[in-house]
Each structure stands twice: as structure tokens, then as C-alpha cells.
Amino acid sequence: MGSRVEKLKLIRKERRKKRTKGIIIVLSLFLLYYGIKMVNDHIEYLGYLDNPIILDIDMEQGKLY
């Protein structure tokens, strides 16, 4: 059995791990949401549904459309 100070250190360490995991999950969800929002906005802007080709490479002429 450890002393009271060791128990408190262990509890703080566990809380820190939980808090860090929570922050990482929240940031990941935020980035996912923002990324999906950006893609949806650009689909409208580029008219992707009307013309599904965003990037086209013509190797014969060496052009990028």
C-alpha cells in the first residue's frame, strides 16, 4: 500500500490521461466536422455534381485542366 501522496499522484496522473484523451477526441471531431463542411462548400462552388471531373491531366498535350 502506498502513502497518501503516492495515491494522489496516481489519481492526478489518471485524470490527466482522461483529460488528454478527451481533448484529442474533441479536436478530432472538430477537424472532421470542419473538413466535411469545407468539402460540401467546395462541391457546390466547383459545380462538382454537374461536372464530376475536378482534375484532368492530358498526357499527350502535357496540359492540366
- Grid coordinates of 15: 485524470
For the residues 16-28, what does the mean pLDDT come to? 98
Look-up of cell digits 462538382: 48
Q: Say if pTM beats, i.e. exceeds, 0.85.
A: no
Looking at residue 12, what is its pLDDT? 97
User: Residues 30, 22: contact at Cβ < 8 Å?
Assistant: no
Looking at residue 41, what is its pLDDT? 82
Looking at residue 54, what is its pLDDT? 64
User: Residues 18, 24: contact at Cβ < 8 Å?
Assistant: no
Looking at residue 38, what is its pLDDT? 87
Instruction: Determine how many CB atoms are found less than 10 A away from the CB of residue 6.
Output: 10
